[in-house]
């Protein structure tokens, strides 16, 4: 591990333990995004992880920067998720945006003075971006007029710019898709009622409505024809980032259970002396170690042909392990695990949320299944033992059965 990464991970750990963890219950009660906390994250260098240093970022490769969310997840998984999405947008804007966009936005984004988020999903489409109805019309002066609706937009009413995927024609398919950054103060942009999300009420989510919003061509992040491909790459990064944050969540749940079990007296000893408790928490510990290895390998694969499949493996396995860990650790505390001060109920709900956002675990299974079909097609047919299912037309092949 490089000295720079080690230092940033320590900063993230301190932010999680000193800024997030002591305040997250109050944030949820207030139902307000903690802008002071994200400002502190920006000042600490956590808001431009992948952006180049010349634009105020840290210049970390994805494989290193994604490890930050494991530390932030110790404090809260939804907060880690929001910062991961901001960092993805900042990466896209600083890496692919126009010079004019970078001059206007780059340093404000890498410093966290302004927040960004991603808008792809629509109310009717869910995990199928081909069912997209948001349209951009290119005007004679080069501006784009955009109308449509996006769903599950996080940092709704709070972000300063939304990286939005649009179609530029009514033709089916994705060859006309593009990504454009829409400033939050653009005329015609509005938000629906905030979703009611009890375990992370501080993270505002809602629909975003676009009614003939005019945006400068300077704000084009990915041109026509590259919108879907870029979005899928962003989603892969997000999926691995979620897996990273889940590891922090699992560690927080495990540490809570250990802190309780080492002192809880039962049957003439301590809970942690009981084989049953040790075995339960031992499974959590093993799943945590496996999850760390898996998400880090997936992070290293991002940007390669293996990247989407490895991201799917990480998104399939790690959030499921986090749900199991949170529930197991709650069980170790018994009735006390249901009480708010211990935070395990919040972690259970967060883990379930992280199973769903940026592609459900079932979508990951679809990606993995398709990869298995492709691999199967390259493998030779297995011979059938003599006398099992052979015919004159198809001797000696399992396909004859």
pLDDT of 162 > 90? The answer is yes
CB distance 178 to 223 below 8 Å: yes
pLDDT of 320 > 80? The answer is yes
Average pLDDT, the chain: 92
CATH class of 3-115: mainly alpha
Residue 401 confidence class, pLDDT cut points 50, 70, 90? very low
Report d(CA 119, CA 357) in Å as an integer.
13
Residue 311 confidence class, pLDDT cut points 50, 70, 90? very high
pLDDT of 390 > 70? The answer is no
195-199, 241-245, 340-344: which is most confident: 241-245
Fold of the CATH domain 117-225: Butyryl-CoA Dehydrogenase, subunit A; domain 2 (2.40.110)
CATH class of 229-378: mainly alpha
Across 35-62, average pLDDT: 96
- Non-local (6+) Cβ contacts of 221 within 8 A are 92, 93, 96, 97, 101, 163, 179, 180, 181, 230
Q: Residue 393 has what DSSP assignment?
A: S
Q: Give residue 400's pLDDT.
A: 45
Q: Give residue 124's pLDDT.
A: 81
Residue 200 confidence class, pLDDT cut points 50, 70, 90? confident
Across 98-117, average pLDDT: 97
DSSP string, 341-358: GG-HHHHHHHHHHHHHTT
pLDDT of 397 > 60? The answer is no
Residue 130 confidence class, pLDDT cut points 50, 70, 90? confident
- Where does CATH 1.20.140.10 sit in the chain? 229-378
Across 146-161, average pLDDT: 96
Across 174-187, average pLDDT: 95
Across 133-153, average pLDDT: 95
Q: Give residue 364's pLDDT.
A: 93
Across 124-130, average pLDDT: 73
Across 281-304, average pLDDT: 97
Tracing tokens 């211990």 back to the chain, one arrives at 342
The model's pLDDT over 351-361, given as tens digits with 9 standing for 90+, comes to: 999 998 888 88
Report d(CA 363, CA 270) in Å as an integer.
43
pLDDT of 333 > 90? The answer is no
Q: Give residue 341's pLDDT.
A: 83
- Helix 77-96 and helix 227-261: axis angle, to 10°? 150
Q: What is the 3-state secondary structure (H, E, C) of 141-198?
A: CCCEEEEEEEEEEECCCCCCEEEEEEECCCCCCCCCEEEEEEECCCCCEEECCCCCCH
- Where does CATH 2.40.110.10 sit in the chain? 117-225
Q: Give residue 120's pLDDT.
A: 92
pLDDT of 392 > 80? The answer is no
Across 61-71, average pLDDT: 96
pLDDT of 89 > 60? The answer is yes
pLDDT of 274 > 90? The answer is no
Q: Which two tokens stand for residue 373?
A: 């079909």
- Where does CATH 1.10.540.10 sit in the chain? 3-115
Tracing tokens 């499949």 back to the chain, one arrives at 309
Q: Give residue 334's pLDDT.
A: 87
pLDDT of 270 > 90? The answer is no
């Amino acid at each position: 591990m490089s000295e720079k990464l080690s230092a940033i991970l320590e900063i993230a750990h301190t932010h999680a333990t000193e800024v997030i963890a002591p305040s997250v219950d109050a944030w949820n009660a207030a139902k307000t995004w903690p802008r002071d906390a994200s400002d502190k994250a920006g000042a600490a260098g956590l808001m431009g992880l992948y952006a180049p240093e010349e634009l105020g970022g840290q210049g970390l490769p994805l494989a290193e920067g994604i490890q930050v969310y494991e530390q932030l997840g110790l404090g809260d998984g939804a907060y880690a998720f929001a910062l991961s999405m901001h960092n993805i947008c900042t990466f896209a804007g600083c890496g692919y945006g126009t010079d004019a966009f970078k001059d206007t936005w780059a340093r404000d984004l890498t410093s966290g003075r302004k927040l960004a988020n991603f808008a792809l999903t629509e109310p009717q489409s869910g995990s199928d971006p081909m069912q997209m109805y948001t349209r951009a019309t290119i005007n004679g002066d080069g501006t784009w007029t955009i109308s449509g609706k996006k769903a599950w937009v996080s940092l709704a009413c709070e972000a300063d710019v939304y990286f939005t995927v649009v179609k530029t024609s009514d033709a089916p398919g994705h060859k006309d898709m593009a990504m454009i950054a829409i400033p939050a103060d653009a005329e015609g942009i509005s938000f629906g009622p905030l979703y009611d999300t009890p375990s992370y009420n501080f993270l505002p989510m809602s629909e975003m409505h676009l009614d003939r919003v005019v945006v400068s061509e300077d704000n084009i992040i990915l041109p026509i024809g590259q919108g879907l491909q870029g979005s899928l790459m962003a989603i892969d990064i997000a999926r691995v980032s979620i897996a990273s944050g889940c590891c922090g969540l699992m560690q927080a749940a495990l540490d809570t259970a250990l802190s309780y079990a080492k002192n809880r007296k039962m049957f003439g000893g301590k809970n942690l002396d009981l084989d049953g408790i040790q075995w339960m928490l031992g499974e959590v510990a093993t799943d945590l170690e496996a999850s760390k290895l898996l998400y880090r390998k997936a992070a290293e694969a991002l940007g390669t042909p293996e990247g989407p499949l490895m991201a799917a493996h990480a998104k399939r396995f790690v959030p499921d392990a986090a749900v199991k860990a949170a529930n197991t650790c709650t069980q170790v505390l018994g009735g006390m695990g249901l009480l708010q001060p211990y935070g395990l109920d919040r972690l259970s709900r967060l883990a379930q949320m992280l199973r769903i956002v940026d592609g459900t675990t079932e979508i990951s299974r679809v990606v993995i299944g398709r990869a298995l079909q492709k691999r199967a097609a390259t493998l030779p047919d297995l011979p059938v033992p003599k006398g099992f299912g052979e015919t004159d037309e198809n001797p000696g092949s399992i396909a004859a059965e």
